[in-house]
Chains A and B, each alone.
Chain A
Amino acid sequence: MMRNVLCKRDEIPPGDKKIFQVKKTSIVVVRKEDKFFAIRNGCPHQGAELGKGSLGGAAPPSDVKEYCYEKQGEVLYCPWHHWSFDVETGCSVYDEKIKVKTYDVKVEGDDVVLYA
């Protein structure tokens, strides 16, 4: 497991995301308030860069004509076909069998550090 310093903490404001190249792998780091998440920057559907999509919440299965909305800021929507992934688990919101690799990311001092 290699320690990779990605950037300073304040370079990713709360509610934002940033793409990093770590060796051969492109990774998106997402910040929600003071929590950081890291997920592979590739959609398992057709390979679009998830980091170019949008952050939002999830609308889980609900009763007919009703909406619930949860996990705001922790769901990454693919820029192409809007497949959506939980940035904490990497799982597709609607199909847990579909998963994107996630990474261990920490704030150490002022640095955002990724272990991969």
Chain B
Amino acid sequence: MATTIDKREEQKTKKRKTAVIDVDVHPNPKSYDDLLPYLSDYWKDFLTDAKWKGVFPGIPVMAIVANAGHRMDSIPPEGGLGCSSLSFFKEQVVDKYNYANAILYPDSTFMLAASPQHEMATAVASAYNDWQIDHWLSKDSSLRGTVVIASQDPEEAAREIDRVGSHPQMIQVGLSIHSPYGGWGDKRYHPIWEAAVRNGLICTFHVSVPGGIFQALPVRGNYYPETQTNNGLTYQNQISSIIFGGVFEKFPDLRMVFVEGGFAWLPSVMYTMDTHWRNLRREVPWVKRPPSQTVREHMWFGTQPFIEPEHPEDEKHVLQIIEMIGTNKILFASDYPHWEFDAPQQALAKLPAEVRNKILYKNAVDLYGFEDPMK
């Protein structure tokens, strides 16, 4: 009898759809006017008079032929920007793919730090945080939020992290992969890392676009597919800056996540850093551990856009690369509502189930401390 029950239970478990934790979702206001109540009268009038449309004046934005960057079907039935309705997000993504949790990173805010107008960026970052709490986090306890900051003013950014970082659903600090001044390893950014650690938050870097005070690294691309490919180069540059700048030596409790830049390039960076560290430690004596070890201890990487080799015989290398980095270091990221959205099960279909499940939710449970959705 007991055996029969066990078998039934086993079958039930087998049929149970795997839960998903998505670490990269971008909510938008219905219109940018929704942010105005969260701005002081000064900035409300300033931005209204500047005819603000969510993109700062003076930042050239790359033409994105793919529906200007959004999934064509992501506009809610009642209108507005992509992912501007919680109920439509739930219907289109959360319920369809069996999400247990999603981490929000308000759309476009990865470009705030590109503005040379520090005070304006700081005010807008703060408005996004209050809007995110009121319109999304307080309406669904499964959601987690990102503290939006204007990192071009690290002291103000740290104050903003202290202001909203203790909200129980705030789980990370949001940064762009381009840094406003110098690399992310520069000591001018220490107040940000210090505030993140003080508030128990992870620091998450998201792809941004060169423009404003964001420098192109290493060269400015002419075409969007070229730029998309180059995102990984910017990440490599910044990881090297962070490691040799000694950020984790100074802040040993700091953890970082890198999304939308892929991960396949990582083994090359890890071992190249090890080589140059061994040879030239005299210049960076504060880097006490091999860079590859520090990467494995402090950094995690989003899947999206998941690499899809053209030739089927190359598929096996994708798994090999994941194993080189560590199957516990990769997190599922959809990037909804952006056009490069990855559907969880489908994007990872060619990976073995054990690795796929780690990426879909287990690694996020371990890193962010979510409750295990499959228990």
A and B associate: yes
Inter-chain contacts of B249 with A (CB < 8 A) = 63-64
Q: Judge whether B286 and A62 touch: CB under 8 Å.
A: yes
Q: Judge whether B285 and A59 touch: CB under 8 Å.
A: yes
* Those 8 A-B pairs whose CB atoms lie nearest each other, nearest first: A64-B246, A59-B285, A64-B250, A64-B286, A81-B279, A62-B285, A61-B288, A59-B282
Q: Once the chains are docked, how many angstroms separate the CA of A94 from the CA of B274?
A: 13
Q: Judge whether B286 and A61 touch: CB under 8 Å.
A: yes
Inter-chain contacts of A60 with B (CB < 8 A) = 285
Q: Would you list 8 pairs from A and B whose C-beta atoms are within 8 A, ordered by A residue?
A: A60-B285, A62-B285, A63-B286, A65-B187, A65-B286, A67-B285, A83-B278, A94-B281
A66 at the interface (CB under 8 A from B): yes
Inter-chain contacts of B63 with A (CB < 8 A) = none
Which of A54-109 touch B at CB < 8 Å?
58-68, 81-84, 93-95
Main SS of chain B's interface residues? helix
Q: Once the chains are docked, how many angstroms separate the CA of A84 from the CA of B250?
A: 25
Inter-chain contacts of A61 with B (CB < 8 A) = 285-286, 288
Which of B275-315 touch A at CB < 8 Å?
278-283, 285-286, 288
Q: Judge whether A83 and B279 touch: CB under 8 Å.
A: yes
Inter-chain contacts of A84 with B (CB < 8 A) = 282
CB distance from B162 to the nearest CB of A (A): 22
Nearest A residue to B248, CB-CB? A64
Q: Judge whether B278 and A94 touch: CB under 8 Å.
A: yes
Inter-chain contacts of A81 with B (CB < 8 A) = 278-279
Inter-chain contacts of B280 with A (CB < 8 A) = 82
Inter-chain contacts of A65 with B (CB < 8 A) = 187, 246, 286
CB distance from A75 to the nearest CB of B (A): 9
Instruction: Bin the interface of chain A by size.
Output: 10 to 19
Q: Once the chains are docked, how many angstroms separate the CA of A60 from the CA of B285?
A: 6
Given A64-B286, A65-B246, 18 other A-B residues pairs in contact with their CB atoms under 8 A = A59-B282, A59-B283, A59-B285, A60-B285, A61-B285, A61-B286, A62-B285, A64-B187, A64-B249, A64-B250, A67-B285, A81-B278, A81-B279, A82-B280, A82-B282, A83-B278, A94-B281, A95-B278
CB distance from B288 to the nearest CB of A (A): 5
Q: Once the chains are docked, how many angstroms separate the CA of A95 from the CA of B279?
A: 12
Which of A20-51 touch B at CB < 8 Å?
none
Q: Which of B279, B282, B286 meets A66, CB within 8 Å?
A: B286
Central interface residue in B246, B249, B278, B281, by most chain A CB within 10 Å: B281
CB distance from B216 to the nearest CB of A (A): 27
CB distance from B175 to the nearest CB of A (A): 19
Nearest B residue to A61, CB-CB? B288
What mask results when residues 20 to 56 of chain B are scored 1 for a CB within 8 Å of chain A, else 0? 0000000000000000000000000000000000000
Q: Once the chains are docked, how many angstroms separate the CA of A21 from the CA of B28?
A: 75
What mask results when residues 237 to 255 of chain B are scored 1 for a CB within 8 Å of chain A, else 0? 0000000011001100000
Q: Judge whether B285 and A82 touch: CB under 8 Å.
A: no
CB distance from A80 to the nearest CB of B (A): 9
Inter-chain contacts of A67 with B (CB < 8 A) = 285
Q: Once the chains are docked, how many angstroms separate the CA of A61 from the CA of B245?
A: 14
CB distance from A91 to the nearest CB of B (A): 14
CB distance from A98 to the nearest CB of B (A): 10
Inter-chain contacts of A83 with B (CB < 8 A) = 278-279
Central interface residue in B250, B282, B283, by most chain A CB within 10 Å: B282
CB distance from A105 to the nearest CB of B (A): 26
Q: Once the chains are docked, how many angstroms separate the CA of A66 from the CA of B286?
A: 8
Q: Once the chains are docked, how many angstroms separate the CA of A60 from the CA of B278?
A: 13
Q: Once the chains are docked, how many angstroms separate the CA of A95 from the CA of B286?
A: 15
CB distance from B205 to the nearest CB of A (A): 20
Inter-chain contacts of B281 with A (CB < 8 A) = 59, 93-94
CB distance from B249 to the nearest CB of A (A): 5
